[in-house]
Amino acid sequence: MAETIKDMVDDNSRINYRLLTNYVSRCALPLFVGQIKHPLLVGKDLYDGELMQNFSKTSTMQFKITQDLADSLPKGKDSHESITRAIYMLRKKPFSGGMPNSISIGRVAENDITIVDYSISRRHAEILLVHGRYFLVDMGGTNGTSINGEFIQPNVQVKLEPDATIAFGRVIFVFMPAEALYQKIRASSDL
């Protein structure tokens, strides 16, 4: 059983969602937020699906696919569905290089966040922390980067706001503060 959020993060900076929901069920908000320094990248399908569901009581029977069932369903040749239901932590990997306030995102393991998808460049983008604000920089790859549906120019810092939608190639995430993620997990799990 994971004792801290760091215990749930893999080498690609991806957080195990099943462990995270279990942790949130037994963790107070201040402890959760205290372990996450930066907003997270939450896959758009996860955000729009499980995290946004309102399990109100109605006379209609509701069905929910369990994670075990979802894991057993056949996947396509790529892992796009898995990626769009993932949560990535903004963190520097040891020895990743670059500036200390810069988090690199790309397809290869040398990046701080590794997202393996053919539409993502080897070094696709960077998130910069400057005076307490977050900025996204597209590194000039083939498929581009967009914020809230608007493509950004390569090598230009664009400010990121909470709950902004970010697309790296075809893969879409929501830039979500830790407190908001905690609250959505608790609400979606009826905790």
pLDDT at 51: 76
Contact 171, 141 (CB under 8 A): no
pTM of the model: 0.83
Helices (H), the chain: 17-25, 29-35, 44-48, 67-72, 80-83, 178-188
Q: pLDDT for 27-71, tens place per residue?
A: 999 999 999 989 999 999 888 887 776 433 333 333 343 444 344
pLDDT at 188: 83
Contact 182, 29 (CB under 8 A): yes
pLDDT at 78: 46
- Between the CA of residue 100 and those of 6, 91, 96, what are the distances in Å? 19, 10, 10
Which stretches of the chain score pLDDT less than 50?
54-78
Contact 103, 90 (CB under 8 A): yes
pLDDT at 165: 97
pLDDT at 81: 64
pLDDT at 124: 97
What count of Cα atoms within 13 Å lies in the side-chain half-sphere of residue 80?
A: 12
Residue 60 exposed, middle or buried by CB count within 10 Å (0-12, 13-18, 19+):
exposed
pLDDT at 68: 43
